[in-house]
Structure 1
Amino acid sequence: MPFDRTYIQQKFIDYCKLNTRSVDGTGEVPTTPGQTVLLHKIAKELTGLGLQDVSYSEQDAYVVGCIPANTAQAASPIGFVAHVDTADFNSEHVQPQVHEHYDGRDLVLGNGRILSAKEFPSLKKVIGQTLITASGDTLLGADDKAGIAGLLGMAKYLQENPSVKHGEIWLAFGPDEEIGRGAARFDVSRFPVEFAYTLDNGNPGDIAYETFNAASAHVEFKGTVVHPGEAYGLMVNAALMASEFIQGLPAGFTPENSKDYQGYIMVLNNQGNVDHAAIDLIVRSFDTAEFNHSKQLLLDLVGQLNQKYGTGRVTIDLEDQYHSPGDVIKQHPYVVNLVHHAYQALGLPIHHIPFRGGTDGDFITEKGIPTPNLFNGGANFHGPYEYATTEQMVLLSKTLVEIVRQHLLLNNQRDETPLSR
């Protein structure tokens, strides 16, 4: 029996219409009510697909459910994760547009916006497919509702095809990924798997087991205000201290000079006057040693300025935001090599890509479950030019089935070849 493309497409469209934008600072779990609505819809869907132990937690706002093993052959439990929230862009009244047999020509979306293969060359890869876009006024929600649809497509296929043997499979759907809150709260005792995969962005054949390590810093500068005519030896200019701090950052180590596996330090905000100044920065690096070096550099700059201008003139609040799962996953190469075998079986090219951000897998890996990221078949995320194709969501479903099938075949002869970029 083939994969149910109509089901996958319709679930995607239905879920995109729900406003599930997450908003930091509400103090609620999840942060917005629309996410709760979708999570309960997913829980009901999982029950209808025959999953067991389906539950929603008020504490972490995750829905989990289990597809029981259908063979006595040993295979450790495996998990898949998708998030329900969308990013910081208009998510009200999303109206998905279906473009059958996309022919590569420009698409007029509305609101003066044109989706063009000239501007977005990735569209050339999906010519002939069923392209789904928003209407031009909102985002679509492909991040990560394409992942949700693909995951439900897998569950439906396995329900309808019991001849496909597999071990125990757990699914998890969570909130607030876009603001970095959801997986940090996830009680993984509800998700009893050896390893898992997030389905968050990316093209078919992609796998990302390294993300940025991330930190934020807020630096305060305290000046001494004196009339400029009488300032000699007395005035301390906070704005100039802040400028000196910025000048001490490594030249060229910035986002606009960074790509692939390169990191950066970014000044987000710089405000001040003679009396007081403040700088907000972020630190990003794929390499843990470089990440720690960059954070130490900020601390050293603060120390140097305090030594020059007086103790307590400069203070810093430096906080880690998330950590790359790469160091952990490299100790468990089977988790990535298993995906290689599945991709090869499906004829997909294998692309190790740097995930230049963070995923729920960062937090879940820190909780003891190695969790790299695969793909969801969408593109142009977080804005009005988002799109996904039905064919790529179906391919995601097919890929997940192949992963669980390969896991059963390889579990006793694991490929532990060391990972390389």
Structure 2
Amino acid sequence: MTHTVTDRFLRYVVIDTQSDPKSSTQPSTEKQKDLGGVLVEELLEIGVVDAHIEENGYIYATIPSNVDKPVPVICFCSHMDTAPDFTGTNVKPQMVLNYGGGDIQLSPQQIIRVSDNPALRDQLGNDIITTDGTTLLGADDKAGIAEIMTAAQFLVDNPDIRHGTIKLLFTTDEEIGRGVDKVDLTKLGAQFAYTVDGETAGHIEDETFSADGVEITITGVAIHPGFAKGKMENAIKIAGAAINRLPKDVAPESTTGREGFVHPTGVTGSMEKAVISLIVRDFTDDGLTAKEAMLETLVKDVMANYPNSSYSFEVKEQYRNMKVILDRHPEIVENAVEAIRRAGMVPVRGSIRGGTDGSRLSFMGLPCANIFAGGHAFHSPLEWISRQDMEKSVMTLVELATIWEERAKIMM
């Protein structure tokens, strides 16, 4: 498998698959199916005979069990879309062979600095894949796809490696929060799952933020500005006052680790009506509730200065911390930890300051942890990944398949 995963990755990243949050369709962009068609063709070529793409762009496939005892059916999942944050058109991947340390200059304006990417210090002698600095690379999550595909081929080509049934699922629109909206879990038929969508090699993540969206609608008092004295209450200004009151120590740019935040993501409006869109994140539901209460109190305090105006405050649940579900099935993480160890790394358990398809899948009835894919600096033109870390991911997936088979007799 030495170079196969790299070859696959380099093929996949040049296919533009950006999702579009403004689209109401699924997939949100038809070009995601361009990669889907390639993946189905490759799966069929390696002997995964049921591989197919459905109308929503999802790819389902099965590697049948090669043992005669019951083994839990596990699923490996990655998403095909790339983030809308930065262009993914005309990706030109390049490779720094035998990285010798120091910053990597992509262009006069774009430099991957070690000071911003301390993980580069662990990559000496490795081969680093980057872009030319004008696009995303797409390692999030085409690295995960390439790794799953390579592991699938390795298992099919080596029938002496004992494993239970392995399901493959490639999703669309994960980057815009719709990744598993229409996944058919009955059709998938898995009991446990792993998204291959994490960062640093050796990491396994069983915890995410809990997440809500908040929409604050402010109705002001609009009147001709020539006759506005003592009467006008400009909804745009009220919205600005509310945003200005947001605590600076509860923001994405000032929090880390297990600290949550409140983050405005959009403002639209006129004198008469303005809408503020925010996201609220915390690792506990209580923390989420407390931040939302703080936010509404803040808005009420601002509105007190505008007695003829009104507001509405709407909270929409987005996803919840998958640890609640995974703690009921400790074997999911335990088996992944052992697989990482067998693949030659020191396992590191961690939390995600965000969410994955696995968050939603877990609460839909498919408990799902997140395994590293090896990429760094996601959603930016400074994205990078090493060939060696992708190979470690492939080895981890193969080991994981064998561990579930080995331990089946203990669990069943």
Query: What TM-score do the two structures reach when normalised by structure 1?
Result: 0.88
Deviations 1:91-111 (A, max 9, x none): 121111122212224433235
Q: State the partner residue of 2:73.
A: 77
Task: Give the root-mean-square deviation of aligned CA atoms.
Answer: 2.8
User: Residue 318 of structure 1 is aligned with which of 305, 315, 321?
Assistant: 315
Relative to structure 1, is the Cα distance of residues 167 and 225 closer, same or farther in structure 2, using a 3 angstrom cutoff?
A: closer
Q: State the partner residue of 1:295.
A: 292
Deviations 1:331-386 (A, max 9, x none): 22211111122223334222222211111111211210011111101111112211
User: Residue 353 of structure 1 is aligned with which of 350, 353, 364?
Assistant: 350
Q: Is the 8 A contact 1:87 1:178 kept in 2?
A: yes
Q: State the partner residue of 1:37.
A: 34
Relative to structure 1, is the Cα distance of residues 308 and 7 closer, same or farther in structure 2, using a 3 angstrom cutoff?
A: same
1:12 aligns with 2:37: no
Q: State the partner residue of 1:374.
A: 371
Does the residue aligned with 2:194 lie in a helix, a strand or coil? strand
TM-aligned CA deviation for residue 324 of structure 1:
2.2
Q: State the partner residue of 1:208.
A: 205
Does the residue aligned with 2:35 lie in a helix, a strand or coil? helix
1:387 aligns with 2:384: yes
User: Residue 255 of structure 1 is aligned with which of 252, 255, 269?
Assistant: 252
Q: State the partner residue of 2:145.
A: 148
Q: In 2, Cα distance between the equivalents of 1:92 and 1:74? A: 45
Does the residue aligned with 1:189 lie in a helix, a strand or coil? helix
TM-aligned CA deviation for residue 116 of structure 1:
3.5
Unaligned runs of 5+ in 1: 416-421
Q: State the partner residue of 1:63.
A: 59
Deviations 1:382-411 (A, max 9, x none): 122111111111111100011111111122
User: Residue 188 of structure 1 is aligned with which of 185, 188, 198?
Assistant: 185
Deviations 1:157-200 (A, max 9, x none): 11221111000000111111111112122222221111100011
Q: State the partner residue of 1:419.
A: none
Deviations 1:225-267 (A, max 9, x none): 5799998986656466546655775663222331111111123
TM-aligned CA deviation for residue 130 of structure 1:
1.7
Q: In 2, Cα distance between the equivalents of 1:249 and 1:50? A: 55
1:280-291 to structure 2, matched below 5 A, reads 280-291=277-288
TM-aligned CA deviation for residue 86 of structure 1:
1.0
Q: In 2, Cα distance between the equivalents of 1:114 and 1:234? A: 53
Q: In 1, Cα distance between the equivalents of 2:245 and 2:18? A: 38
1:222-241 to structure 2, matched below 5 A, reads 222-224=219-221, 236=233, 238=235, 241=238
Q: Is the 8 A contact 2:248 2:254 kept in 1?
A: no
Q: Is the 8 A contact 2:197 2:371 kept in 1?
A: yes
Relative to structure 1, is the Cα distance of residues 26 and 234 closer, same or farther in structure 2, using a 3 angstrom cutoff?
A: closer
Does the residue aligned with 1:210 lie in a helix, a strand or coil? strand
Q: In 1, Cα distance between the equivalents of 2:149 and 2:71? A: 22
Q: In 2, Cα distance between the equivalents of 1:321 and 1:299? A: 18
TM-aligned CA deviation for residue 125 of structure 1:
1.1
Relative to structure 1, is the Cα distance of residues 347 and 6 closer, same or farther in structure 2, using a 3 angstrom cutoff?
A: closer
User: Residue 262 of structure 2 is aligned with which of 235, 260, 265?
Assistant: 265
Q: Is the 8 A contact 2:198 2:373 kept in 1?
A: yes
Q: Is the 8 A contact 1:153 1:394 kept in 2?
A: no
Deviations 1:101-141 (A, max 9, x none): 12224433235423333442221211111211112211111
Q: State the partner residue of 2:25.
A: 28
Unaligned runs of 5+ in 2: none
Q: State the partner residue of 2:124.
A: 127
User: Residue 48 of structure 1 is aligned with which of 45, 48, 52?
Assistant: 45
| Percent of paired sites with the same residue | 33
TM-aligned CA deviation for residue 43 of structure 1:
0.8
User: Residue 163 of structure 2 is aligned with which of 159, 163, 166?
Assistant: 166
Q: Is the 8 A contact 2:322 2:363 kept in 1?
A: yes
Q: State the partner residue of 1:418.
A: none
Q: Is the 8 A contact 1:52 1:68 kept in 2?
A: no
User: Residue 409 of structure 2 is aligned with which of 396, 409, 412?
Assistant: 412
Q: State the partner residue of 2:98.
A: 101
Q: Is the 8 A contact 2:221 2:308 kept in 1?
A: no
Relative to structure 1, is the Cα distance of residues 222 and 343 closer, same or farther in structure 2, using a 3 angstrom cutoff?
A: same
Relative to structure 1, is the Cα distance of residues 243 and 94 closer, same or farther in structure 2, using a 3 angstrom cutoff?
A: closer
Relative to structure 1, is the Cα distance of residues 274 and 137 closer, same or farther in structure 2, using a 3 angstrom cutoff?
A: closer
Query: What TM-score do the two structures reach when normalised by structure 2?
Result: 0.90
